[in-house]
Structure 1
């Protein structure tokens, strides 16, 4: 399960100097460097290095999935395959391969992106919206309103006209309209929470546009209206 001698796991990236400029090789191609993976986290919250430590016979070499899992309390990992053929794991078998077991570990499942890590160092939190973000975030509806207004202005190649039209389009969204879009977003949130599909949510939101939430009887109404 460990890499062959002379090879190692890591993320290959383009090398850059201290000024952030790309370093090129003699053949003119960008130079590449391999960045080691960060430490894992054991269930007790302690750090788990994924490479053998200094002083070890294989210092700096990736431990391999079997060793990493054994350090997490799993036994007899040498008898478990590295990965299933074509990654087609049998859902009925929990210990089918090291790859599946390791990728289901909490710290591997919940790996933070670089955007999240960088934002946290600056005191910000990144919020990733779900697939239907345009419906759940009413600011998107405000953008759509402004875009529609902007398209109604006559075409122009003058920068001052474009800037003026853009500002006027943005300012055309009133507080009343913002509240309307926010209420519509809440309707979609409530509808998806009740298990409705996109088509059903749109129908329910239109039918109950003046209500704060969609009634609990909505599923019966959808069935009567033959909305699937």
Structure 2
């Protein structure tokens, strides 16, 4: 039933709300956090939030969240995105998690891993 055109083409409440406020919504597939850079950004935000003073006031808590979200530098977001792209490239070349992490550290200045990377583990 969910694949019927009447259901598929219906905009979600979130999409409608964001569109009316001038924002675009991008739905990402559910992957492991190393493949989805927004998860790395969220981890960065949580780290910043934990450094804030504790409070029981809802307004202060909301302000701290917004301040933490705004504090993530664009350069960090770009680095997280590039790291995710490198992990995707490593997995596409047949590496497992440990091999991918090692290869990404070794070839950190490269956009993609060399085609022959899998031979280094034979």
| Class of the TM-score when normalised by the shorter of the 2 chains | 0.7 to 0.9
Q: Which has the higher contact order (CA 8 A, sep 6+)?
A: 2
Query: May I ask how many residue pairs the two structures share in their alignment?
Result: 110
1:67 corresponding residue in structure 2 = none
TM-score by length of 1: 0.42
**Unaligned 5+ runs, structure 1:** 1-37, 39-111, 224-228
**Unaligned 5+ runs, structure 2:** 16-25
**Residue 122 (structure 1) aligned with residue 41 (structure 2):** no
Contact conserved, 2:89 with 2:113, CA < 8 A, in 1?
A: yes
TM-score by length of 2: 0.74
Q: CA RMSD in A?
A: 2.8
1:150 corresponding residue in structure 2 = 49
Classify 1:218/1:150 alpha carbon distance in 2 versus 1 (closer, same or farther; 3 Å): same
Aligned pairs for 1:103-182 within 5 A: 118-122=7-11, 129=29, 131-132=31-32, 134-182=33-81
1:140-167 Cα deviation digits (max 9, x unpaired):
1110100111011121111222112111
4+ aligned runs moved over 3 Å, structure 1 = 116-119
1:83-121 Cα deviation digits (max 9, x unpaired):
xxxxxxxxxxxxxxxxxxxxxxxxxxxxx669x973423
Structure with higher helix content: 2
Structure with higher strand content: 1
1:3-38 Cα deviation digits (max 9, x unpaired):
xxxxxxxxxxxxxxxxxxxxxxxxxxxxxxxxxxx6
Per the TM alignment, residue 217 of structure 1 is displaced from its structure 2 partner at its CA by 2.2
